[in-house]
């Protein structure tokens, strides 16, 4: 950083004619301490200043660490004033081209009062300006800028806490302790490099809104950075004697000089005539309210009040009654050439404009009792069009109540209730405003529905009549009481009544189809003949089964079936078409009577062809296993003879050879 500054110094020397000295401040060491205070810092005929002293570095060259500066024609915020430095003030003028680093090895001590004020023990190179004064007003103030070489743009991490210190120490005559006026506004934190610093370096920013800038080479002073213009101020007692000590010093060692610039003519004695009454601070005057302001000062010879910089005719007393908005100033004269002032800014609370004071909600629970939860924060934000941001609104059930209602408030009076919004600020300018809560209901009973949709069908969904609007969640949305659908799914419709309250009705539509009979498995030739109806997995539905088309069962198995022809009916419970199919139960005769009467004269098995068994051979045996006869399904059967002779009455056995290699065996009786 400093190598660059030396190079830039050479560059500015070469280009000095182009830039000119007017770009940088100049300093003058020839002013006496009394002149610096009376004519430069205070510059007022009202000044009552004495015991002025200045101390600083005893440089062998005779140069000083304090003096006058002139910034006329530069960008520096002050035109002139006093400079107090921890080095030679001749190094203070810009450009910012080299390191001001004076005061080493010369026995230049620090200051014990500064150490006490800042909690330090290791200050060096202290420059001190101190004097006594007697204030005319009850408040003093002056403006200053703190500049330092320690505002580094590229510091190392161990440099972040290095900081020179300064203090503006004030005490009343007879007091034993000082008050430090050089603090971050609104705090008790002393202003230093590490308490007022901007962002952009590895060092953390602190109170950055009071930091001005890190300086490049083209700056009116030879310091790396500075604060913005800050104001030191204190309350004082008019006529009392005070001592003020302005001191700056290096901390830790003599390195990296710093300076305090005190604005010329900025040391003012003013009168505190009261706090500003502002909307932003919550203490404006109420509508039609007046304010009596008293500026009475001992020794004053004349008063003149001003409103917005215009003298108020006839307002020449020590007191004045304010009746309207404005910036008020009172000039207090103590003779022909001594004058102090007091200021106060007045605003009036606005007449609040109600934007909305009736709030309606729908009853959100199932009992529809006219009570529901209101978010009072939402109501607060909608109530007025011109409520100042720092005013507080609280809600109460009655105008006399002191119990603030919770943010989520459920009305206690069904359907309609009035609560009160209380607008609170310091002055209490506003009365309670009624807020009307209205709860609407949705009394119609809404039930969800489950429906089925048959294959290739179109279904009408009907949300019911009597509602103001319908909003279906279809894509795109539909807004009619009925809609047509061609696919299964979940369909929702928002029903809105005349009170603008809504409920949602859900239709759950399941796909269904006519049953596809895949197979009928018959277990026949048994004591308990059964049939099992198998439905294809591609069938969508909940089915029931019947053998007569009237009486249905959930089971797909029929039992105890007599031999014969059957038709099975499969019905979808959700109303799709009925599927049907014929099947046969086979069985063999348990006996036959070959007596020539034309009835039951032969033994054969019916309907074998219905099960594709007509070509299966049936072998008949006597009880001893002797082969008697072979017949087929399409033959006339066995007539009870063997080799032309009648076989005796007895039990006979048969076996049907199936095409799959299995066989069915049984026995029957021949009766004569």
* Contacts of 241 by beta carbon, 8 Å cutoff, 6+ apart: 132, 133, 134, 172, 173
Please tell me whether residue 418 adopts helix, strand or coil conformation: strand
- What is the rounded average pLDDT of the residues 224-232? 95
d(CA 376, CA 91): 64
pLDDT digits (tens, 9 = 90+) for 598-636: 899 999 988 888 878 888 899 999 999 999 999 987 788
- CATH number belonging to domain 273-346: 2.60.40.10
Query: Is pLDDT at 339 greater than 70 in this prediction?
Result: yes
* Among 19-23, 245-249, 425-429, 497-501, the least confident range: 19-23
pLDDT of residue 48: 87
**Which whole-number Å values give the CA distances from 188 to 161, 195, 544, in the listed order?**
19, 11, 90
**Which whole-number Å values give the CA distances from 640 to 348, 498, 599, 657, in the listed order?**
130, 91, 14, 21
Question: Under CATH, to which class is 591-670 assigned?
Answer: mainly beta
Q: Select the highest-mean-pLDDT range: 38-42, 155-159, 305-309.
A: 305-309
Cα 327 from chain centre: 40
Neighbours of 627 (CB within 10 A): 10
Task: Pull the structure tokens for residue 75.
Answer: 């960008």
Task: Pull the structure tokens for residue 98.
Answer: 């080299």
d(CA 230, CA 83): 15
Query: Is pLDDT at 570 greater than 50 in this prediction?
Result: yes
Give the pLDDT band (50/70/90) at residue 586: confident
Signed CA dihedral, 533, 536, 537, 538: sign only: negative
- Contact, 282 vs 426, CB < 8 A? yes
d(CA 20, CA 23): 6
Element (H, E) at 12: helix 2-14
pLDDT of residue 418: 97
* Euclidean distance between the first and the last CA atom of the chain, given in angstroms as a whole number: 137
* Among 20-29, 590-599, 617-626, the least confident range: 20-29
pLDDT of residue 20: 41
d(CA 57, CA 259): 13
pLDDT digits (tens, 9 = 90+) for 179-207: 999 999 999 999 999 999 999 999 999 99
CATH number 1.10.1740 given to 517-585: no
Is there a shared CATH topology between the 273-346 domain and the 591-670 domain? Answer: yes
d(CA 157, CA 201): 10
Give the pairing of strands 449-454 and 502-512. parallel
Q: Counting Cβ atoms within 10 Å, is residue 30 exposed (0-12), middle (13-18) or buried (19+)?
A: exposed
* Among 309-323, 418-432, 444-458, the least confident range: 418-432
Give the pLDDT band (50/70/90) at residue 209: very high
- What is the rounded average pLDDT of the residues 372-389? 91
Task: Pull the structure tokens for residue 369.
Answer: 């009792």
Give the pLDDT band (50/70/90) at residue 10: very low
DSSP-derived secondary structure letter, 117: H
**Which whole-number Å values give the CA distances from 194 to 208, 225, 491, in the listed order?**
10, 12, 66
Task: Pull the structure tokens for residue 150.
Answer: 């320690």
Query: Is pLDDT at 492 greater than 90 in this prediction?
Result: yes
Give the pLDDT band (50/70/90) at residue 6: very low
d(CA 25, CA 68): 10
Query: Is pLDDT at 416 greater than 80 in this prediction?
Result: yes
pLDDT of residue 156: 86
Please tell me whether residue 193 adopts helix, strand or coil conformation: coil
Partners of residue 231 on adjacent β-strands: 143
Please tell me whether residue 435 adopts helix, strand or coil conformation: strand
Name the average pLDDT for the chain.
Answer: 90
Query: Is pLDDT at 410 greater than 50 in this prediction?
Result: yes
Greater model confidence, 253 or 97: 97
Give the pLDDT band (50/70/90) at residue 427: low
Query: Is pLDDT at 474 greater than 90 in this prediction?
Result: yes
- Contact, 47 vs 133, CB < 8 A? yes
Query: Is pLDDT at 470 greater than 80 in this prediction?
Result: yes
Neighbours of 464 (CB within 10 A): 15
**Which whole-number Å values give the CA distances from 383 to 63, 83, 355, 641, in the listed order?**
69, 56, 5, 114
Query: Is pLDDT at 2 greater than 60 in this prediction?
Result: no
- What is the rounded average pLDDT of the residues 293-321? 95
pLDDT of residue 51: 96
- What is the rounded average pLDDT of the residues 631-647? 89
d(CA 87, CA 280): 44
d(CA 290, CA 584): 112
pLDDT of residue 16: 41
Length of the chain counted residue by residue: 672
pLDDT digits (tens, 9 = 90+) for 535-555: 998 888 889 999 999 999 999
Domains of the chain, by residue range, sit at: 2-269, 273-346, 358-440, 449-512, 517-585, 591-670
- What is the rounded average pLDDT of the residues 291-300? 92
- What is the rounded average pLDDT of the residues 506-512? 94
d(CA 214, CA 184): 19
> What pTM was computed for the model?
0.56
Give the pLDDT band (50/70/90) at residue 527: confident
* Contacts of 214 by beta carbon, 8 Å cutoff, 6+ apart: 151, 153, 198, 200, 201, 224, 225
Give the pLDDT band (50/70/90) at residue 660: low
Task: Give the DSSP letter string of 54-107.
Answer: EE----TT---SEEEEE-TTSSSS-SEEEEEESS-GGG-BS---S-----TTS-
Question: Under CATH, to which class is 449-512 assigned?
Answer: mainly beta
Tally of CA atoms within 13 A in the half-sphere of 308 that contains its CB: 5
């Amino acid at each position: 950083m400093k190598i660059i500054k030396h190079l830039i110094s050479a560059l500015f020397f070469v280009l000095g004619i182009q830039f000119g000295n007017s770009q940088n401040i100049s300093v003058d060491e020839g002013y006496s301490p009394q002149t610096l205070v009376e004519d430069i810092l205070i510059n007022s005929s009202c000044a009552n200043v004495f015991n002025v002293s200045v101390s600083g570095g005893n440089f062998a060259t005779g140069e000083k660490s304090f003096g006058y500066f002139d910034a006329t024609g530069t960008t520096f915020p002050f035109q002139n004033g006093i400079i107090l430095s921890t080095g030679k003030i001749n190094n203070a003028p810009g450009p910012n081209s080299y390191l001001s680093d004076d005061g080493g090895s010369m026995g230049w001590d620090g200051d014990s009062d500064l150490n006490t004020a800042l909690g330090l023990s290791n200050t060096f190179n202290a420059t001190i300006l101190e004097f006594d004064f007697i204030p005319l007003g009850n408040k003093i103030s002056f403006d200053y800028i703190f500049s330092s070489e320690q505002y580094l743009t590229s510091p190392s991490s161990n440099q972040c806490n290095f900081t020179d210190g300064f203090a503006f120490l004030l005490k009343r005559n007879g007091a034993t302790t000082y008050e430090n006026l050089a603090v971050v506004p609104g705090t008790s934190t002393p202003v230093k490099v590490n308490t007022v610093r901007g962002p952009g370096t590895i060092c953390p920013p602190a109170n950055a809104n009071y930091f001005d800038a890190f300086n490049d080479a083209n700056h009116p002073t030879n310091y790396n950075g500075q604060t913005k213009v800050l104001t030191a101020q204190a309350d004082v007692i008019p006529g009392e004697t005070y001592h003020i000590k302005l001191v700056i010093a290096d901390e830790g060692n003599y390195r990296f000089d710093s300076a305090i610039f005190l604005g010329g003519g900025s040391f003012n004695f003013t009168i505190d005539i009261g706090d500003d009454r502002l909307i932003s601070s919550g203490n404006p005057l109420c509508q039609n309210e007046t304010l009596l302001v008293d500026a009475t000062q001992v020794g004053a010879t004349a008063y003149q009040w001003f409103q917005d910089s215009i003298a108020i005719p006839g307002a020449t007393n020590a007191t004045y009654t304010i009746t309207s908005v404005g910036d008020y100033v009172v000039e207090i004269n103590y003779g022909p050439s001594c004058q102090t002032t007091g200021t106060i800014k007045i605003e009036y609370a606005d007449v609040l404009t109600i934007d909305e004071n009736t709030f309606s909600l729908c009853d959100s629970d199932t009992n529809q009792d006219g009570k529901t939860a209101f978010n009072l924060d939402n109501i607060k934000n909608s109530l007025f069009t011109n409520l100042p941001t720092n005013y507080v609104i609280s809600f109460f059930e009655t105008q006399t109540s002191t119990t603030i209602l919770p943010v989520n408030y459920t009305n206690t009076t069904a359907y309609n209730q009035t609560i009160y919004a209380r607008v609170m600020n310091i002055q209490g300018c506003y009365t309670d405003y009624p807020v009307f809560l209205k709860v609407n209901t949705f009394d119609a009973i809404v039930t969800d529905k489950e429906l089925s949709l048959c294959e290739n069908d179109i279904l009408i969904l009907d949300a019911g009549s009597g509602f103001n609007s319908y909003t279906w969640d279809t894509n795109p949305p539909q807004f009619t009481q009925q809609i047509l659908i061609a696919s299964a799914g979940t369909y929702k419709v928002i029903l809105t009544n005349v009170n603008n309250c809504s409920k949602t009705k859900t239709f759950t539509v399941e796909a269904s189809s006519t049953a596809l009979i895949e197979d009928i498995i018959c277990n026949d030739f048994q004591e308990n003949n059964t049939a099992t109806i198998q439905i294809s997995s591609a069938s969508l539905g909940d089915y029931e089964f019947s053998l007569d088309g009237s009486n249905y069962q959930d089971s797909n198995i029929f039992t105890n079936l007599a031999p014969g022809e059957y038709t099975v009916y499969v019905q979808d419970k959700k109303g799709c078409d009925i599927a049907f199919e014929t099947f046969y139960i086979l069985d063999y005769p348990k006996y036959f009577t070959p007596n020539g009467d034309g009835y039951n004269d032969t033994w054969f098995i019916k309907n074998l062809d219905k099960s594709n068994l007509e070509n299966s051979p049936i072998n008949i045996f006597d009880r001893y296993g002797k082969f008697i006869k072979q017949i087929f399904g399409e033959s006339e059967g066995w007539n009870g003879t063997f080799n032309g002779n009648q076989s005796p009455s007895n039990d006979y056995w048969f076996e049907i050879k199936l095409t799959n290699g299995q066989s069915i065996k049984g026995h029957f009786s021949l009766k004569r």
